[in-house]
A and B are shown apart, each in its own frame.
Chain A
Amino acid sequence: MSERGVQRLLGSVPVDEQAARRAWEIVRAAYAEREPRRSRRRRSSVALVLAAVAAAAAAAVLSPPGRAVVNAVRRSIGIEHAQPALFRLPAPGRLLVAGGSGAWIVADDGSKRRLGDYPQASWSPHALYVVAAAANELAAVEPTGRVHWTLARPQIRFPRWGGTRSDTRIAYFTAGRLHIVAGDGTGDVAAQGLAAAAPVPPAWEPTTGDRHVLAYVTARGRVTVLDADSGNVQWVSAAYAGPRALAWSPDGTQLALAAKTRVIVFDARTGHATAIRAGGVRALAFAPDGQLALLRSHEVLLRAGGLLHTLFVPPGGRLSGLVWSPDSRWLLTELPAADEWVFLQVRGGRRILAVSHIAAQFGAFPSLSGWAS
């Protein structure tokens, strides 16, 4: 269609005045608050009818060539079914998931193995083992499901394994207290030994040396970086409201915190903080090659060259969970309401692969715990 045709169509499409009023109320409120915030549809059944009428009117006004353009665009967008089952992972590696039906490892050929009745799990640093947790039990498990050791502790949350091949540590919470235990299950720090922690999974510094450095968020919202061997605190940040997620960059030089209204990137050595203006981030993840991805409930963002780019906006429902493939080419996120996983290609193309019927394949919809090589 020519530019003149587009111009004519632009002028002829009727504007829904109610839509304008609704939008203005939301825009005005957002301006008054001056904080990043997504809009919410406020549409009554009457408004829906009006919108439908407006759409019908618009369709009536559009000329046949105009309709052809719109239809072509919609065809190019395409609406097809997602894959009905996970036939394979789009990148090499093994995916660890956990939830109401236990912990599972998914191989890249799509085969699945259930590790046991553990609603939480995470990989060991080199993915040789899994630390898994039931409500009152912490366990070190092989990917085959064989249990190496267990510890009985009350209300276990967020088990995380870090360290080198030769010497590892596991951090976990019990009712808001932080614990650290050696990788062989010995030397558990006394329950009252460490400060109360916010409900944010702790994170081990990726290390090639012999130190064991842990970052966690205190109940007051302060990021604390702790040398787990000496017990010395390296630095403590200012307090941040609404902390939600914590992640180290793969080279250990940066530590990122998702807080309520922004993401903070700390210099890991000094604790110097740099804010990214991105509110509502619920999860964040550094790729093995250093890219930082952020997850809001309605979009996945990628930070590149100091700027944030929208990578994916779902058609509906809230997103949860974010993990990178080991080759840094794919991101995986979840749409629980749609019972779908969504693989987003970040490098080597821009494909989006959706897999449905996740709950049926695992017995319940699981959370993403990690994707390891």
Chain B
Amino acid sequence: MRPERPELDRREHVWVRDAQRGSAAALEHLFRSHWPRAYRAALLVVGDAAAAEDIAQESFLAAIRALDRFDRRRPFGPWLHRIVVNRAIDWGQARSLRRELPRGTVNSRLRRGLDRLEAVLRRETA
């Protein structure tokens, strides 16, 4: 049975705090808890399993690099998913180099789908 949301929040708060203090076990809890969503979100956007793996993985690495600056009062999930979304956009724009496309156009089209995705993710982790 899934734990209640407040309990999850409390656990996550502790995991983030402990991970900031150097606990690999806490980081693993965070990873196990958020990897499926991060991977699925990336896969849904880019439609390529290998790219989705890279995007989700690099998003976690980016999160680790910024972990010391992360505000523990905020939920971890939406923050990570924002990174995933940005990485997915980067992936898309990287492929736009083969055609002369206004980057803003790519962004606006991509963002419409991503905004819906984010709204769902945010609601689920709120």
Contact = CB atoms under 8 A, between A and B. Distances in A.
A6 B116 contact: yes
Interface in A294-347: 310, 312-315, 342, 345
Nearest to B105: A76
Interface in A257-301: 277
B94 interface: yes
Contact of B103 (A9, A27, A51, A352): A352
Contact of A74 (B19, B47, B65): B47
Contact of B95 (A39, A77, A342): A77
B27 A31 contact: yes
B100 A73 contact: no
B28 A23 contact: no
A184 B26 CA distance: 65
Given A39-B57, A55-B49, A315 B94 contact: yes
Interface in B41-96: 41, 43-50, 53-54, 56-58, 60-61, 64-65, 86, 90-96
22 contacts: A3-B120, A10-B40, A10-B41, A16-B49, A19-B56, A20-B35, A20-B39, A22-B57, A38-B61, A51-B53, A54-B49, A58-B47, A59-B47, A66-B44, A73-B45, A74-B47, A77-B92, A78-B101, A82-B98, A310-B86, A312-B97, A351-B103
A58 B46 CA distance: 12
A77 B106 contact: yes
Contacts of A70: 44-45, 47
A128 interface: no
Contact of A353 (B44, B100, B113): B100
A31 B24 CA distance: 8
B31 A39 contact: no
Given A26-B57, A38-B58, A312 B93 contact: yes
B43 A351 contact: no
B6 interface: no
B3 interface: no
Interface string A69-81: 1111110111111
Interface residues of B, number: 57
Contacts of A312: 93-94, 97
A351 B47 contact: no
B50 A80 contact: no
Contacts of B110: 73, 76-77
B53 A77 contact: no
A12 to B, nearest CB: 9
B2 interface: no
Interface string A30-57: 1110101111010100001001101100
Q: Which of B19, B49, B53 has the most CB of A within 10 A?
A: B49
Q: Which of A27, A72, A313 has the most CB of B within 10 A?
A: A27
Contacts of B113: 1, 69, 72-73
A313 to B, nearest CB: 4
B13 interface: no
A20 B109 CA distance: 29
B5 to A, nearest CB: 16
The 6 closest A-B pairs by CB, nearest first: A350-B103, A80-B99, A55-B49, A76-B109, A70-B47, A23-B57
Nearest to A32: B24
Nearest to B36: A15
B126 to A, nearest CB: 13
Contacts of A36: 65
A15 B95 contact: no
A73 to B, nearest CB: 6
Contact of B102 (A22, A54, A349): A349
A13 interface: yes
A72 B45 CA distance: 10
B61 A24 contact: no
Contacts of B57: 22-23, 26-27, 39
A256 interface: no
B64 to A, nearest CB: 5
A7 interface: yes
Q: Which of A41, A66, A70, A314 has the most CB of B within 10 A?
A: A70
Contacts of A48: 50
A48 B113 CA distance: 28
